[in-house]
Amino acid sequence: MTDRCEETLGVGLLCEGQHDPGVPPAGLRRSPSGVDGLTTEHLIINMGPQHPSTHGVLRLIIEVDGEEIVAVEVSVGYLHRGIEKLAEHRRYDAVGTLMDRGDYVSGMMGELAFALAAEQLMDVEVPRKAHWLRSLASELNRLASHLVWYGTFGLDTGAMGQFLYAMREREALLDILEALSGQRMMFNYIRPGGVVADMPLGLTEQIRTFLSTFDTYLDEYHQLLGGNEIFQMRVKGIGTIDRQMALAFGLTGANLRAAGVDFDVRRARPYAAYPELDFEVPLGTTGDAWDRYIVRMGEMRQSARMIAQLIDGMPEGAFTAKVPRIIRPNAGEAYASVESSRGETGIHLFADGTEHPYRMHYRGPSLFAAQALEEILPGHLIADAVMIVGSTDIMLGELDR
Amino acid sequence: MSVFAISALKVAAALGLMLANGVIMIYMLRKVLGHLHIRLGPMHVGWKGTLQTVMDVLKLLTKEDITPRAVDRWLFRLAPAVVFVPSLMAYAALPFSDTWRVTDLDTGLLYTFTALSLVPIGILMAGWASANKWSLLGGMRAAAQQIAYEVPLLLSVLPIVMLVGSTNLGTIVEAQQGTLLGVVPRWFIMNPLFWPTFLIFVVAALVETNQTPFDLSEGESEIVAGFATEYSAMKFGLLFLSEFSNQFIVSALGVTLFFGGWTLPWLPHSWYAAVPILGPAIFITKTYLGIFIMMWIRGTFPRVRIDQVMQLGWQRLIPVSLVWIVFSGIVIKVWS
């Protein structure tokens, strides 16, 4: 091991050799191991792709000794739809529909990443109002996405009540997003050049009504789940991803910030209206599942704060730039990323001057989090595995593309 | 009528009660959970969805009964019966009133616990026979936790037995008659000596009946459906039914031991003889209140992890209940 250190993400130094993963999880041993002359057979269990709490179609091949996990292999690809390839045959204004189906719980952020990448290659000045509407849509969507995470994380622990409470707030949010974009989940609202439509009349009031109760509800939710002694017993100290490991695995979003790394794309590489907004980035300390829970709960509070600022200061003007009906960006290469609900969602775009992208690469945060599972799960119990997968908030639609 | 005919009638009555109780409790569970979850629960089949569970039972009866190829056929078929029969047996000693009971056993308390403790054998059988790794884990968890909690369950109620001097459930109820100062019932729950007893009893009872937060043997978010994963149709129905039935029995035991059984202290004794249905009605109402609290817990609490359950059982509840037996023994001796 050398002592070479390199800067990662502009936020810290990652030195080779500092993070020694120990016994690599490379593959399963698939053989019984003897203990004190007694042979105890290890069991290999397929958790998923059909399992109540793998949040989609994640497949974990787990080798267990009793209930304790010895090794894990993460098997992905069950939801592969070829989004990157399909994008090569879509016009630029239609790729957003694919991005919606990538990370389908926070579609706005995916659309925004693509629009930002395409705009780098277009001669276009995005109006200020479009920036603000994009931020508004992103933050509303982030709340909706985090509420799904909150609800399903509770379900993973076996608590049922809070899931439906979270769905009540999400329903109000989806109504707002539907009023804004015409769709509840598959928005295709943010396009290269701006957004599709202005805010409808009365939406400001609708959002204000939502915000007037949201903070109280959020306290209630935190009390209901985080305030429960059993939940704390279950979550504290499991699935620890420390700073070095988080950087080594390229984690972003709440999973990285829970380890205490202060990196948020909204602040590190500002886009849309974020430079003009006042918000904090919640940080954790140890990087265990409890910290990830706390960070996401804090993010929800910040998102609500930002939404209030966005509707108060919404500028006048056009909601989209003048873009040609058929968009033909200049030939070239562009990378743009946004802070989605799960971390840095980036689009690496190659344009060849035609109306279709030549190649689009989709950098989703869940793939990186899923890789980290192979290392953090061994040593925990099966019941913990479910919680840890839930706490990393991976989204299979985006992981498998 | 001959002795056999009477016995047969009593068994039929217990069976009918068990089935009716299953149907009522499933409806109640759906409604209680529904309202706890800001939704309505079943609303469409029958008035306020009352016929929903009836239709579900019909569905279970007519569904295809799938037996996977790899299972151990005999054990697989036997397991639901081994789970079901003990929970039916447990009804025998429950005193619904001073006359309404299947049999007046002097060892009623021990008998009921014995019947309940047979259930995990069936669950372990189901888990093993299913030839499914999730089922196996569920069966193992069930066996581990139920063995760990039978001990504190039985130990916790010993102070009551010491005070009453009998394990006959009817005698225990009769020991709780009358009021203090004309208002406060002389139920054992009102006696500070039995408060730790009651807490241990509640925890152990929740574990024994696989209720949240201790529903590890079929924790659906972890091990799919645990021991019941491979069961379908009425075999699953029996497993399901006995779980509800066990819940009823534990709640009934709690009512008998701590809440005065079939009596209310404010009613004159002659009423129970005049209106024979009064005792059972009070008893069942109290029991369902207990079940409601179990459902309330189920609607809100997360699940405990297996090692935490075992630690709580072996390291906390058993020592505490042993110490409490000694302490309450001394108190009872000094008092009398």
Beta carbons within 8 Å of B187's beta carbon, 6+ residues apart: B176, B258, B259, B260, B265
CA nearest neighbour of A260 among A234, A233, A222, A286: A286
Whether the bond into A49 is cis, omega within 30 of 0: yes
What is the reported pLDDT for A31? Answer: 46
Q: What are the residues of chain A with a beta carbon less than 8 Å away from any beta carbon of chain B?
A: 43, 45, 51-53, 67, 154-161, 163-165, 168, 224-225, 228, 230-231, 233-234, 381-384, 386
pTM summary value: 0.84
CB A282 within 8 A of CB A299: yes
Tokens of residue A91, six digits:
């016009």
Between residues A161 and A342, the one the model is more confident about: A342
Per-residue CA distances from A351 to A120, A280, A354 (Å): 11, 36, 7
- With a cut of 80, say whether residue A16 has pLDDT above it: no
How many CA atoms are closer than 13 Å to the CA of A133, on its beta-carbon side?
27
Beta carbons within 8 Å of A247's beta carbon, 6+ residues apart: A8, A9, A12, A14, A19, A256, A261
- In the block, which residue shows the tokens 């109280």? A216
Which of A164, A231, A382 lies at the smallest CB-CB distance from B302? Answer: A231
Taking the C-alpha atoms of residue A24 and residue A71, their distance in angstroms, rounded to an integer, is 9
The total of other beta-carbon atoms located within 10 Å of residue B124's CB is: 25
- With a cut of 50, say whether residue A128 has pLDDT above it: yes
Share of chain A above pLDDT 90, in %: 17
Count of CB pairs separated by less than 8 Å, A with B: 81
Predicted confidence band of residue A36 (pLDDT cuts 50, 70, 90)? low
What is the reported pLDDT for A6? Answer: 53
What is the reported pLDDT for A136? Answer: 92
- In the block, which residue shows the tokens 């592969």? A80
Predicted confidence band of residue A140 (pLDDT cuts 50, 70, 90)? very high
pLDDT along chain B (336 residues), means of 10: 80 83 88 88 85 86 84 86 87 80 82 86 86 84 84 86 85 80 79 86 86 77 78 83 88 88 78 79 90 88 86 86 88 82
Between residues A5 and A390, the one the model is more confident about: A390
- Chain B residues within 8 A of A383 when measuring between CB atoms: 216, 219, 222, 303, 305-306
A319-357 pLDDT, tens digit each: 888 888 888 888 889 999 999 998 899 999 999 888 899
CB A106 within 8 A of CB A296: no
- With a cut of 80, say whether residue A48 has pLDDT above it: no
Do B215 and A158 lie within an 8 Å CB cutoff?
yes
Do A160 and B37 lie within an 8 Å CB cutoff?
yes
Predicted confidence band of residue A22 (pLDDT cuts 50, 70, 90)? very low
- With a cut of 60, say whether residue A35 has pLDDT above it: no
What's the residue count for chain A? 401
Chain B closest CA to A233's CA: distance in Å?
Answer: 8
Mark out the alpha helices in B63-219 (DSSP H runs).
73-89, 108-129, 133-156, 158-164, 169-174, 195-208
What is the reported pLDDT for A327? Answer: 85
Q: What mean pLDDT do residues A80-87 have?
A: 90
Which of B137, B213, B224 lies at the smallest CB-CB distance from A230? Answer: B213
A215-228 pLDDT, tens digit each: 889 998 888 888 88
What is the reported pLDDT for A39? Answer: 63
AA identity, residue A355: E
What is the reported pLDDT for A284? Answer: 87
Looking only at Cα atoms, what is the longest distance across chain A?
78
- Chain B residues within 8 A of A48 when measuring between CB atoms: none
Lowest mean pLDDT among A32-36, A109-113, A318-322, B212-216: A32-36
- Chain B residues within 8 A of A386 when measuring between CB atoms: 221-222
CA nearest neighbour of B252 among B117, B26, B97, B50: B97
Name the β-bridge partners of B185: B179
In chain B, what are the domain boundaries? 71-335
AA identity, residue A307: I
Taking the C-alpha atoms of residue A155 and residue A139, their distance in angstroms, rounded to an integer, is 24
Tokens of residue A245, six digits:
């490991």
Predicted confidence band of residue A307 (pLDDT cuts 50, 70, 90)? very high
CB B312 within 8 A of CB B145: no
Strands A59-65 and A5-8: unpaired
Do A43 and B133 lie within an 8 Å CB cutoff?
yes
Residues 199-238 of B with CB under 8 A from A: 212-213, 215-216, 219-224
Taking the C-alpha atoms of residue A141 and residue B67, their distance in angstroms, rounded to an integer, is 46
Do A233 and B304 lie within an 8 Å CB cutoff?
yes
A261-302 pLDDT, tens digit each: 888 888 888 888 888 888 888 988 888 889 999 999 999 999
Most confident listed range (A61-75, A132-146, B142-156): A132-146
For residue B187, give the 3-state DSSP assignment.
coil
Predicted confidence band of residue A142 (pLDDT cuts 50, 70, 90)? very high
Do B37 and A164 lie within an 8 Å CB cutoff?
yes
Mean pLDDT over each residue of chain A, to the nearest integer = 84
Which of A161, A231, A384 lies at the smallest CB-CB distance from B299? Answer: A161
Chain B closest CA to A229's CA: distance in Å?
Answer: 9
Beta carbons within 8 Å of A326's beta carbon, 6+ residues apart: A91, A355
Q: What mean pLDDT do residues A203-214 have?
A: 90
**Environment class of A86 (CB within 10 Å of its CB; exposed 0-12, middle 13-18, buried 19+):** middle
What is the reported pLDDT for A32? Answer: 47
Per-residue CA distances from A274 to A121, A130, A267, A307, B135 (Å): 22, 12, 7, 11, 51
- In the block, which residue shows the tokens 């701590």? B258
